[in-house]
Chain A
Amino acid sequence: MTERRRVQLVVNGEARTIDVDVRTLLSDVLRHELGLTGTHVGCEQGVCGACTVIWDDNPARSCLALAPQAEGARIETIESVAAAVAVGGGDTGFAEGAGGLGALHPFQRAMHELHGLQCGFCTAGIVMTVVAAERAGWSRDETLDALGGHVCRCTGYVNIRAAVERAWQELGLTR
């Protein structure tokens, strides 16, 4: 039996308190304690980038942190990136299939338009890295370099790079 610990953190703007086994990975806290299953786990070895979240404004691998290390942290996950849009309303495109495309971040929209995802398993991690890069004011080339921290087995990366370029153009970040 291992020890349990109370951990307080802010997830997607909401204060959360959890009571977990100290060895629980942050990725498991997000996915299985808080039900935020959009964060994916591809290796638990800190290499593939699928589990990337934004931690106090920096991209971080949630599989490499134990829950207690996140005490007091501000965590953002994929679920917070696109504004929530009511089902069937506005331009969610309910007819376009569940989830819709309303209120996506420009990079998410470019990923859709340019076919930057196939199975979609790696996608959340990539979106979190790119969103953090945009916020930090990274150039297009710095952001393309940051893709190096992500493994995608489906797309061959060509269209993901194109999506970064399109998003940076749209956002007026053409450095």
Chain B
Amino acid sequence: MRSMHATGVPRPRYVGQRLPRRNDGRLLRGLGRFVDDIELPGMAHAAIVRSPIAHGIVRSFDPSAVEGAALVLGPSEIDAATHSVPVLWTLGVQLQTSTRVADGRVRYVGQPIGVAVAGSRYTAEDAVDQIVVDFEELPIVADAEAALAPGAALLYPEYGTNVLSAFEAGDSAEHTDTVFAAADRVLRHRMHLGRIAGISMECRGIVAAPDPATGTLTIWSSNQAPHAIRDAVSEVLGLAQHRIRVIAPDVGGAFGLKDHAYDDELMVCLAALRLGRPVKWIEDRSEHMVATTHARDDHVDVEVAYDDDGRLRGLRLDAVRDTGGQFAIFGGGPLFTMTGMVPGPYTWDAVRSTAKVVASNRTPLGAYRGFGQTQAALVRERTVELVARALGTDPVELRLRNMVQPEQLPYTIRTYITYDNGDYPTCLERARVLATQFPPAPDDGRARGLGYCFYVQMAGIGNSTTNQLIGLGIGGHETATVRMEPDGSVRIYTGISPHGQGQETTFLQVCADRLGLDIDRIELIANDTNSTPYSAYGTAASRSMPVGGGALVLAADKIAAKVKAIAAEMLEAAVDDIVLVDGAAAVIGTNVSVPIARVAHRAWQGFSLPAGIEPGLLETAAYDPVSATFSYAAHVCRAAVDRTTGEVEIEHYAVVHDCGTIVNPLVVEGQIHGGIAQGLGAALLEEIAYNADGQPITTTFLDYLAPVSASMPDVTIEHIQIPSPHTPGGMKGMGEGGTNGAMACVVNAVAAALPEIADRIDRTPLSPSRLWELLQSAP
């Protein structure tokens, strides 16, 4: 038996393999099934009526000129037919805990206020053009600064303020003051992380199909959390959950944007129910840029206290998040996460944040890859480089001097979060070695600089009670069901909702090893609330592997235990001597075995089962993690900047990281590449801009620059694998890591290339024009 260790314990056959993804074939052939590919008999098409102004009250909504529409719903009808949408994260003093689908006010350009349904998308859009809406315009609150100015117009007069929530995190003011007073020096800087859009390549979309015969509603939508969509549809439309089925078909990217039901999608569901026929709505790109949640737009004032010898002492943040016209599902969560994770890998004496989430007449912010942890890394790692610069020391040495050492782990940081395990210094030192291997810079007149970022990422967020304690209204566990069929083939049912991350392959790898099966004998069932276990998150927060995978390991092990018990009886051996390997249950150290298929057949027929064993092979396990998991990485890159144009090229890039046990390096590397592209985009290219009237001026891919192939260097990746002490299977999670590391790494590299302006880099993106302006005004 080649797949045994000498001890007789099966060696993992699939975990750790660079297995190409098993679902690629149909996507490569054009046989994917995305939401706009769905055609149903009798289906009508919706278009959304959106606000053309940034702030106002709807005085009238007049569809009388509309010809040929099956249905038009305006704000008052929608408001009367819907309950409020809950905000699922409550932080500190929070005034907004739910929002109305249509309350007769508009607070950003693009806000949905009505829906028109017709025979085709073209005619539905015609109908929208024929609706006459009259607004009473209100003074515009252009951004967070305007929102906080004395006498500012209020988006919600009933709150008496534009501050939707305010909270503190970390150490007390007194303790922090003491630490700052005792330190040799204090340095201050500001950072505004520019507003960006997540831009999945597939925009949002939904097909809502009521079945009047059964009183059920089936929804296909481009989403990453079908159960969360069902929760919202149930709550807002007042339908029982067992009458709603939500399916995520193939989904063309989500990145956090598609983690909840949007108001326009709820309007489409309402219209379908009213009409008693299927209705499809597909968002277009211009809508996506104004109506799908944005990200970042955090303004952070930073103070750092440190000693002459390079010891980091204290970190104090005052942060404002410009959250736009209303809270989306997770409210101010990203800002809270930033304040929690900002300490990073260093041993501070004090870390304290004060934070405000402010409403303005901009598109609402929502979840996006990184969820505050990208911001935490940028703020901290930029600060560390500024301290190194002030001291004239090497920034890598400064980091190493202040790092949590491996023997200090588990280590509780100043914000009460306990890191699990790892070796941060080795990780950073390896990145420094990889940087020495970048090819020598050509003599082309461009300025060059190396930038680093080290982050620790909270992944595998949980457990459920911790979520509850921090005001997060969803549990942190996952559930998996494993069903071995009578022929020994297996189906896995998961609440995780894959849409490009490869779980159709990686979950099979995990399961195949636990059950000693060939991977071709296993299939993943996901993305459908009718067949999968409840999951509040779906695929999000880098938790598919550490939490969803953890649940899978537990459920597969239950099946394995049952198979072994039955096989032991069949083979007249002790249960503890049975191993599952190569499709058979074998007695260890012998050549006595029975095919697992025969065991499965016996289990389902119920023939001669051992005492106390129920027929069948169907097991479910919930995994509520003991703690979150903490992956980490060092990123390093080299920037080349043309001082005459401000243009930046990231020439070389290397990553050393630890995400615990790696199930599939090919997939992990792909996640890192894609994450880096998004962090690099936010650092250099991407920016949602508004004019003074609150009109968005970046609504096409010509104005909003997403990274293209030429923007992205190749990436050298080195894996460290220190298994998680908590997760069954050892995985730590890493889907957001690339983004978390890249933004700071790229900004630091540009700053290193341009020392004359390094102190004055205070906002992203570092577009050519912004850098050029800074360079022109350099002393």
Contacts and interface: CB of A to CB of B under 8 A. Distances in A.
B252 A40 contact: yes
A114 to B, nearest CB: 8
Contact of A121 (B201, B520, B676, B707): B201
A79 B29 contact: yes
Given A97-B504, A159-B670, A153 B201 contact: yes
Interface string B31-67: 1111011010000000000000000000000000000
Interface stretch (B19-27, B153-161, B299-307): B19-27
B34 A99 contact: no
A49 B677 CA distance: 18
Interface in A60-87: 77-79, 81-82
A99 B32 CA distance: 9
B206 to A, nearest CB: 16
Contact of A115 (B29, B32, B666, B678): B666
Interface string B3-34: 00000000000000000111111111111111
Contacts of B714: 158, 161
Given A78-B29, A115-B667, A96 B709 contact: no
A61 to B, nearest CB: 12
B253 to A, nearest CB: 5
Contacts of A45: 285-286, 700-702
A112 B25 contact: yes
Nearest to A157: B709
B122 interface: yes
Contacts of A159: 670, 673
A102 to B, nearest CB: 8
Contacts of B676: 156
Contacts of A35: 39
B202 A157 contact: no
B336 interface: no
B216 interface: no
B265 interface: no
Among A35, A41, A99: residue with most chain B CB under 10 A: A99
B710 A148 contact: yes
A122 interface: yes
A118 B500 contact: yes
Interface residues of A, number: 63
B25 A96 contact: yes
Contacts of B709: 144, 147-148, 150, 157, 160-161
B291 to A, nearest CB: 15
Interface centre among B21, B30, B738 (most CB of A within 10 A): B30
B706 A153 contact: yes
Contacts of B250: 119-121
A159 B665 CA distance: 13
A95 to B, nearest CB: 4
A153 B678 contact: yes
Interface centre among A48, A100, A153, A161 (most CB of B within 10 A): A153
Q: Which of A111, A123, A153, A156 has the most B CB atoms < 10 Å from its CB?
A: A156
Contacts of A117: 24, 27-28, 500
In this complex, the member of A111, A154, A161 whose beta carbon has the largest number of chain B beta carbons within 10 angstroms is: A154
A10 interface: no
B483 to A, nearest CB: 18
Interface string A90-106: 00010111111100100
B554 interface: no
Interface string B694-729: 000000111000111110101100000000000000
Contact of A156 (B24, B203, B677, B710): B677
Given A97-B23, A98-B25, A112-B25, A119 B30 contact: no
B669 interface: yes
A77 B28 contact: no
B255 interface: yes
B177 to A, nearest CB: 44
Nearest to B523: A97
Nearest to A105: B28
Interface size class, chain B: 35 or more
B136 to A, nearest CB: 33
B201 A97 contact: no
A82 B201 CA distance: 23
Nearest to A97: B22
Contact of B25 (A50, A97, A155, A157): A97
Contact of B499 (A37, A108, A119, A124): A119
A18 interface: no
Nearest to B252: A121
B284 interface: yes
Contact of A101 (B24, B32, B200, B666): B24
A157 B673 CA distance: 8
Contacts of B670: 115, 118, 154-156, 159
Contacts of A99: 23, 25-29, 31
B754 to A, nearest CB: 25
B28 A119 contact: no
A96 B22 contact: yes
B650 to A, nearest CB: 11
A127 interface: yes
B315 to A, nearest CB: 31
A151 B700 contact: no
A17 interface: no
B101 interface: no
A66 to B, nearest CB: 12
Contacts of B673: 155-159
Contacts of A31: 36-37
Nearest to A155: B674
A119 B500 contact: yes
A134 interface: no
A117 B28 CA distance: 8
A92 B674 CA distance: 29
B199 interface: yes
Nearest to B666: A115
Nearest to B68: A1
Given A153-B200, A153-B674, A98 B31 contact: yes
Contact of A82 (B29, B255, B678): B29
A48 B701 contact: yes
A118 B28 CA distance: 11
Nearest to A38: B30
Contact of B700 (A43, A82, A112, A161): A43
B253 A153 contact: yes
A114 B122 CA distance: 40
Given A44-B285, A97-B23, A120-B250, A153 B29 contact: no
B25 A120 contact: no
Nearest to A112: B24
A54 interface: no
Given A118-B670, A119-B251, A144-B709, A38 B32 contact: yes
A101 B255 CA distance: 28
14 contacts: A24-B122, A40-B201, A42-B285, A43-B285, A97-B22, A112-B25, A112-B28, A114-B20, A115-B669, A121-B34, A148-B708, A154-B201, A157-B707, A158-B714
The 5 A-B residue pairs whose C-beta atoms are closest, nearest first, are: A38-B30, A99-B26, A121-B252, A120-B27, A156-B673
Interface of A: 21, 23-24, 31-32, 35-45, 47-48, 50, 77-79, 81-82, 93, 95-101, 104, 108, 111-115, 117-124, 127, 144, 147-148, 150-161
Interface of B: 20-34, 36-37, 39, 122, 199-203, 250-253, 255, 284-286, 499-502, 504, 520, 666-667, 669-670, 673-678, 700-702, 706-710, 712, 714-715, 738
Given A93-B25, A115-B667, 7 more contacts: A81-B30, A119-B251, A119-B252, A121-B202, A148-B708, A156-B712, A157-B708
